[in-house]
């Protein structure tokens, strides 16, 4: 059955719009102009755009610039958009006009149509967009969307991963393993110490993100076209921020300098940088897990990750570390997004950045990807991994680096000779040290106790860590 159309018009003339579409002429022009990726703006951005429009209606109604009933009708329609009731009405590609004007007008037209359906005629520009410009709405929605996604989803996901790691660490605090530097055997440490380093990385990432969010909460709404606030009540921006804060229970503030908030997206670039740092931490954790799981016979084989799916279409019985691999791909994508956001952040001249939709989409996707894999890493890997204590103990006994603890007693050169012989003969360090160090077995066992070595200090001297 052929699709039916209706005729709409804008300042450039008439064009055909699908009959059942809530959008109007300007949205339709954008649909026709930007058939690029087939990817519309993300849900988090549409949500933020709806929230901004609802807050703007609140502000305009409170200032007496819109009739109370019309303001209420626009607010209800905008909140329905924010809630995701009309996502199919937002078809415009991510790669559109750099100011995001197309997305702003898309929201204006859809909200106006919804509000008008209640009997109050609402105009997209004159009513829904009152006191606003795409140039301050889109940077505001960008920030609101990123803040909400980070606070509601990402930070809790990181905390969940940290708590899972910490819980497993407590259960493994007495299990000693071989440490590694340069991928080579090094001094021993406990699983709790190794896992604790991961947790500390994530705690630092959380703190950096929280600090970046302080600046991302400053909104340029009220600056309109370039930051001067032309055609907006001077009280409008602060009232919108107050309404947004009430709606979301997140404290937003009116930017002290709206020119900066429109022309510069440095706070978004900063936030992306912190997401990039988190991606670095998660990739390090994922790769450590892959190495520890490697084998199980010809690799390190220190841990066994939960078996989630067959690993090979040709090698029966093979099981791969699929979640850590997925984490690595996500982290690579986030790093790529950060590069794109960095380029986009400096892509503007004078009073307007012209890559706002790209910044918004990439920032939100990075946040969502990192939140999702953090939970997966916690629940599908860390929570269920098992430690292969036999493998760990065997490797630890034969670790020639244990002789490091003898340095204060027998000296570096003699220790090196013992380590070299132990490695060459494939024998425990203790056995070689008994033969070559001149120290008795009791002393050597105390000095070479792997668990004692994890506590650091100087061993073999009065006041030293090993006694």
Q: Verify whether residue 9 is a known catalytic residue.
A: no
Signed CA dihedral, 20, 22, 25, 30: sign only: negative
97 sits in the region (left: phi over 0; alpha: psi -120 to 50; else beta) called beta
Distances (CA, A) of 413 to 1, 36, 409, 410: 88, 67, 11, 8
Q: From CA 418, how far away is CA 439, in angstroms rounded?
A: 13
Instruction: Single out the catalytic residue among 4, 182, 313, 386.
Output: 182
Q: How many CB atoms lie within 10 A of CB 67?
A: 13
Instruction: Single out the catalytic residue among 9, 37, 204, 312.
Output: 312
Length of the chain in terms of residues written: 467
H helix or E strand, kind and range, residue 348: strand 348-349
What is residue 127's DSSP assignment? I
Signed CA dihedral, 34, 104, 52, 147: sign only: positive
Signed CA dihedral, 394, 398, 403, 406: sign only: positive
Q: Verify whether residue 182 is a known catalytic residue.
A: yes
Distances (CA, A) of 386 to 90, 192, 302, 354: 47, 14, 9, 51
Report the relative pairing of strands 303-304 and 386-387 from DSSP bridges. antiparallel
> What percent helix, strand, coil does the chain show, rounded to 5?
60, 10, 30
What is residue 184's DSSP assignment? E
What are the φ and ψ backbone dihedral angles of 50, each rounded to 5 degrees?
-65, -40
Between 134-149 and 101-116, two packed helices, what is the crossing angle to 10 degrees?
A: 90
Distances (CA, A) of 54 to 78, 101, 248: 5, 18, 12
DSSP string, 244-296: HHHHHSS--EE-S-HHHHHH--HHHHHHHHHHHHHHHHHHHHHHHHHHHH--S
* Residues with active-site annotation: 182, 312
């Amino acid at each position: 059955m052929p699709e039916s159309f209706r005729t709409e018009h804008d300042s450039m003339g008439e064009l055909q719009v699908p009959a059942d579409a809530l959008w109007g002429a300007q949205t339709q022009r954008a649909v026709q102009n930007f058939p690029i990726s087939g990817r519309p703006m993300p849900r988090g951005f549409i949500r933020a755009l709806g929230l901004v429009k609802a807050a703007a209606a609140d502000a305009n109604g409170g200032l007496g610039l819109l009739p109370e009933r019309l303001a209420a009708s626009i607010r209800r329609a905008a909140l329905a958009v924010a809630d995701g009731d009309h996502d199919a009405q937002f078809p415009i590609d991510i790669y559109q006009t750099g100011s995001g004007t197309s997305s702003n007008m898309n929201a204006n037209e859809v909200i106006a149509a919804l509000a008008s359906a209640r009997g109050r005629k609402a105009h997209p520009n004159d009513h829904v967009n009152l006191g606003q410009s795409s140039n301050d709405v889109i940077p505001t929605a960008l920030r609101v969307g990123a803040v909400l996604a980070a606070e509601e989803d990402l930070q809790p996901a990181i905390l969940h991963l940290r708590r899972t790691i910490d819980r497993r660490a407590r259960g493994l605090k007495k299990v000693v393993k071989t440490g590694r530097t340069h991928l080579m055997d090094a001094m021993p440490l406990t699983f709790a110490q190794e896992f604790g380093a991961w947790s500390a990385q994530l705690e630092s990432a959380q703190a950096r993100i929280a600090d970046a969010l302080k600046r991302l909460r400053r909104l340029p709404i009220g600056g309109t076209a370039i930051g001067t606030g032309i055609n907006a009540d001077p009280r409008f921006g602060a009232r919108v921020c107050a309404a947004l804060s009430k709606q979301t229970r997140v404290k937003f503030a009116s930017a002290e300098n709206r020119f900066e908030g429109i022309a510069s997206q440095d706070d978004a670039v900063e936030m992306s940088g912190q997401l990039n740092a988190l991606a670095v931490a998660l990739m390090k954790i994922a790769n450590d897990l892959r190495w520890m799981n490697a084998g199980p016979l010809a690799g390190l084989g220190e841990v066994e990750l939960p078996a989630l799916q067959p690993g090979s279409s040709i090698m029966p019985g093979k099981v791969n570390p699929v979640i850590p691999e997925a984490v690595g791909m996500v982290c690579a994508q986030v790093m790529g997004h950060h590069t794109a956001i960095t380029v986009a952040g400096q892509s503007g001249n004078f009073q307007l950045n012209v890559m706002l939709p790209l910044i918004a989409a990439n920032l939100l996707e990075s946040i969502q990807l990192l939140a999702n894999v953090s939970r997966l890493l916690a629940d599908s890997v860390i929570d269920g991994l098992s430690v292969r204590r036999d493998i760990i103990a065997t490797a630890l006994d034969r670790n020639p680096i244990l002789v490091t603890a003898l340095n204060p007693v027998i000296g570096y050169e003699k220790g090196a000779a013992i380590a070299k012989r132990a490695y060459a003969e494939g024998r425990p360090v203790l056995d070689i040290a008994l033969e070559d160090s001149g120290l008795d077995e009791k002393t050597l066992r105390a000095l070479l106790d792997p668990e004692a070595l994890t506590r650091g200090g100087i061993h073999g001297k009065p006041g030293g860590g090993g006694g």
